[in-house]
Amino acid sequence: MIHHISADHLSVERVEEILTKNYKLALSDDARARIQKCRDYLDRKAQDTDRPIYGVTTGFGSLCNVSVGRDELARLQQNLVMSHACGTGERVPAQIVKLMLFLKAQSLSYGYSGAQVATVERLLDFFNNDILPVVYQQGSLGASGDLAPLAHMTLPLLGLGEVEYGGAVRPAAEVLEELGWEPIRLQSKEGLALLNGTQFMASFGVWSLIKAKHLSAQADMVGAMSLDAFDGRIEPFADNVHLIRAHKGQLETARAFRRLLEGSELIARPKTHVQDPYSFRCIPQVHGASKDTIAYVESVLTTEINAATDNPTVFPDEDVVVSAGNFHGQPIALAMDFLAIAVAELGNISERRTYKLISGARELPNFLVKNPGLNSGFMIPQYAAASIVSQNKGLCWPASADSIPSSQGQEDHVSMGSNAATKLWRVVLNTERVLAIELFNAAQALEFRRPLRSSPAIEALHAAYRKQVPFIENDEVMYPHIESSIRFLRSL
């Protein structure tokens, strides 16, 4: 299957489909024409004017007033890429690197960047052949574009740096030679077009958003199993309660729980307790607020992935080249910090439900084993969840609240959006682990309610889970079961 890059609206759902179904990418005819038109205009502009054009005939950052001769313009762009490849730390996961290639090509395709058609097509070649540049997570301030990580993404186009290909990390030059591909020779402005932009933070953001949407639905499913296993009440999920507050996510969550628990013998039986703890009773309000945040962040990131975000911006039809700031990550940095909080809250309330399930309340055995004392049972999985939740709280400190000037003060306010993005990614993975631990506990607790049954939907979930994770009769090594729980959630 082929997705043609064009000016058509690109949705997050479409991005997910392209990634999960292994689409190939190609330029549409209109995208190719736009790219070529802008390139031709920029070449003429560089020849016809003696006025300096930032990044085209000048140096970069605080060197913007240093002019560069016409015979050195290509070298200027290659020097930019090499000197800016200063990333460090952990490698960027392969799927996010692949998304970076896609989103960079998408941004260049609008015809405001001055890239060569051949350069954009080489990005697509890398995507289509799973030739993934080695990129590092640390090094970007999220303001003058994601300079360091995008430089690492760009190096292999020039036959420099490293790529992961065929399951091994190899020199890019070696892989290009093997495939019979000549390294790209950058033309004026192209290094800036490739390095200025938000594709590193946007790729982490989009990947995390996709994952957050799945986690939101999974939190409802796991929470519903916990509610039934804890002998919780369904009344707090009634429509009349939520219609008089009417937050969209709150209503959606309450309705989802009623659907999930429809037909449950446990939820329908008379209760001796008047109300449930907040971690059960306030699920619509908490899960719902996270849903609303996810929807807001999706609107922000959708705008971003449909944008040209490099600098300077070239407008061929208006005969103008504008040095501005579309590379500044503030719009998505704030949103990603917000999403990190919303996702962390799904884990925060999940861990509290886990704690209640092992507490020995409502006729459930202490630590969810038949013989507590001899067996510690599910005591320590809750510790693990609490530890992860605590780490998430630290990660939720907003990166976008910080700014450190750079480039001799020329770049004097930065978004730190790259840090917001990588922190968000960690929060998302952490929350998945916490929900997996809750599911481990909820499935165990539900079996202590037999012979009563939960709803068909929850029993089906439980049966599928039991094919991966067993009931725990006596103490055994637990960490493989937690890993199996994580894999199970990813399969939903």
Cα–Cα distance measured from residue 478 to residue 37, given in angstroms and rounded to the nearest whole number: 61
As given in the structure block, the two tokens for residue 217 are 């639905």
| pLDDT band of 66, cuts 50, 70, 90 | low
- In sequence order, the 6+-apart residues with CB closer than 8 A to the CB of 122 are 157, 181, 184
How many residues does the structure list for the chain? 492
CATH top-level class of 2-197: mainly alpha
Answer yes or no: 54 catalytic.
Answer: yes
Residue pair 104/150 in contact by the 8 Å Cβ criterion: yes
pLDDT at 408: 82
Query: Mean pLDDT score of the chain, rounded to an integer?
Result: 94
Residue 84 pLDDT > 90, yes or no? yes
pLDDT in tens, 231-281: 999 999 999 999 999 999 999 999 999 999 999 999 999 999 999 999 999
As given in the structure block, the two tokens for residue 122 are 């080489």
pLDDT at 467: 98
| pLDDT band of 409, cuts 50, 70, 90 | confident
Q: Which residue has the higher pLDDT, 305 or 49?
A: 305
Cα–Cα distance measured from residue 380 to residue 447, given in angstroms and rounded to the nearest whole number: 20
pLDDT in tens, 117-161: 999 999 999 999 999 999 999 999 999 889 999 999 999 999 999
Largest CA distance in the chain: 86
As given in the structure block, the two tokens for residue 66 are 């240093």
Catalytic residue chosen out of the listed positions 54, 110, 165, 465: 54
How many distinct helices (H) and strands (E) make up the chain?
A: 19, 9
pLDDT in tens, 268-323: 999 999 999 999 999 999 999 999 999 999 999 999 999 999 999 999 999 999 98
pLDDT in tens, 345-393: 999 999 999 999 999 999 999 999 988 889 999 999 999 999 999 999 9
Q: Give domain 204-491's CATH architecture.
A: Up-down Bundle (1.20)
pLDDT at 26: 98
* Range from 56-60, 100-104, 140-144, 154-158 carrying the lowest mean pLDDT: 56-60
Cα–Cα distance measured from residue 129 to residue 135, given in angstroms and rounded to the nearest whole number: 17
CA 467 to chain centre: 29
Residue 73 pLDDT > 80, yes or no? no
Residue 62 pLDDT > 60, yes or no? no
Pairing state of beta strands 132-133 and 162-165? antiparallel
Q: What's the pTM value of the predicted model, to 2 decimals?
A: 0.95
What is 352-414 written as a DSSP string?
Answer: HHHHHHTTT-TTPPGGG-SSBTTB-TTHHHHHHHHHHHHHHHHHTS-GGG----BGGGTB---
What beta strand segments (E) does 1-144 contain? Answer: 2-5, 24-27, 88-91, 132-133, 136-138
Q: Where are the domains of the chain?
A: 2-197, 204-491
